[in-house]
Structure formats: structure tokens, C-alpha cells
Amino acid sequence: MYQTHDSKSPRPYKKKYFHPLPSFLPYFESDGFNQMNIHHLLKTYSPAPILYRDCDILGLIPLESDNYRHTFILYQNNFAYVNRPPYHIISQLLKEEIEMDFETYRKAFQQLSKSKTTVIPFATGKYSLIPLGPVRSKMTIWINPGQLVRMEPQKMKTLLYMTNHFTIKSDRLTRSLATRLSRGMFFQAVLKRELDEHSRYSHMHLLDYLDLPSTTVTREIIGDSRFKDIPFNKGDFHKSYEKLSIKKDD
């Protein structure tokens, strides 16, 4: 298993594995990055032995060139890649960021939302990632819904424009994506409230509470929702998670 980033040694990591996004990135906005040009972008680099997590992740893109065993990790201004598929990265992030097991986290999410949905977002108080396909599939792309600028239908695909000019193609139609995006952003709000010591934000707009950029996508998804509109009650998710954890250990 790969290690997570040790904050005591960021410079060696950044120098060898944490690479700046190329200046030509905006020129790919019209077509979206594909497996071929991501492979071209990575061909001179080596996979990282550790997962750098001091920056919010914008996307996890599995690489076709190695039977989807490597994942391209997109940050705001940089990129890296590791020799693990996205689901393994998501599971590890949950353990490291909020000390939760993915399977129990999944069941708690389903129980709380009273839904058997398999579209489970990864969320912390800082950001969220949503799957564009089956959660456990090594081919599934994960994106950060709070960093989407706009979505553009293109035949039977949708172009997803990120805040850093990186564009991702999805096989899903815009309407289907909107449901997933909403689930990711609102569950990020649920998790942030769970971890927040204060609850004095009743009328604060969710964009401000989550510290998200105001884009076409985030404004459409969030609408006029405010802190008081966050689903469930504070503490509900952790209570559900703890009960399920106890059952699992019995």
C-alpha cells in the first residue's frame, strides 16, 4: 500500500512527483483531455510512491495504458499519478482524512439518505469527489463538483470544464451528472458541519460556507441554499457510522 504525504518533507515530493500543469492546457478546452494526451503528458514521469494530499484534488482519472492500474491525479495547478486505481485512493483518503472505513461510510450514507444508491460521494469538510461510473470500477473517473465551471453537452457525451482549464469527457448526460454533483456538494456540507465546532451560520450561503468558487455549475446546483438547508441534523452521520461500526465489530 502506498503511503500518504508526510508534511515534513513536501519539497522532495514536489520536486520529483508533483508536476506543474503545462501552459498549453487551455488549448484542450474544446476537445477535453483524453487517454492519449494524458499518456503523452505523463510519459517522462514516474508514478509517485506516496499520495500528496495537502492540496484539494480536482479529479482522479484511471489510465487505460496500464489496464487502469495507475491513476492520474489532478490538482488546481499541478498533477501527479500513483500506481493505484481510484477506488483504492478514495478508500485510503477516507481513512487518512476522516478516519473512516469506506464500506461502513457507504452504508451510513445510504441509511441516512434512506436510499440504496450506489453513487457514493467521497467528502470531507474541505472538498468532495463524485464517481462518474460504478464506485468500485477501476475505469471510473472521479471529479470535484465544487471545481466545475460549466458542463457542455456534446452528442452522447458531456464536456466538464474545471476551474483550472482542464476539461474531462464524460459518457453521462448533463441531467444525470447534475444529480451526482448535487449529492457531492451537499454531502460535503454535511461532513463540514459534522466537524465544525460552531453552528452560527444559519443564513450563510452554502457557496460561502463551503468556500466554493461561484461558477455556472456551483450556482445552479447550490441555488439559494444556505447553512440551515443542509440535509439531516448535525451529528446524524457520525451516529449512523458509529452504530454500523459497532455492528460490524460484534
Could you report the per-residue pLDDT of 208-232, keeping only the tens digit for each?
Answer: 999 999 999 999 999 999 999 999 9
Arithmetic mean of pLDDT, 108-114: 92
The Cβ of residue 199 has, within 10 Å, a number of other Cβ atoms equal to: 10
Q: What is the pLDDT of residue 30?
A: 60
Q: What is the pLDDT of residue 248?
A: 74
Could you report the per-residue pLDDT of 52-80, keeping only the tens digit for each?
Answer: 677 899 999 999 877 888 999 999 988 98
Distance CA 52, CA 13 (A): 8
Q: What is the pLDDT of residue 45?
A: 86
Distances 18 to 8, 46, 79, 174, 183 between C-alpha atoms, Å: 15, 10, 6, 32, 30
Could you report the per-residue pLDDT of 132-152, keeping only the tens digit for each?
Answer: 999 999 999 999 999 999 999
Pairing of strands 78-82, 71-74: antiparallel
Helices 174-195 and 236-249: crossing angle, nearest 10°?
Answer: 90
% pLDDT > 70, the chain: 88
Count of residues making up the chain: 250
Could you report the per-residue pLDDT of 1-55, keeping only the tens digit for each?
Answer: 333 333 343 455 556 788 888 766 654 556 667 788 888 888 888 888 777 677 8
Contact in structure between 132 and 170 (CB atoms under 8 Å): yes
Q: What is the pLDDT of residue 5?
A: 39
Q: Which residues face 131 on adjacent strands?
A: 142
Q: Which residues face 80 on adjacent strands?
A: 73
Q: CA quadruple 52, 57, 61, 67: dihedral positive or negative?
A: positive
DSSP 135: T
Confidence of residue 246 (pLDDT cuts 50, 70, 90): confident
From 163, 17, 151, select the one nearest 80 (Cα to Cα): 17
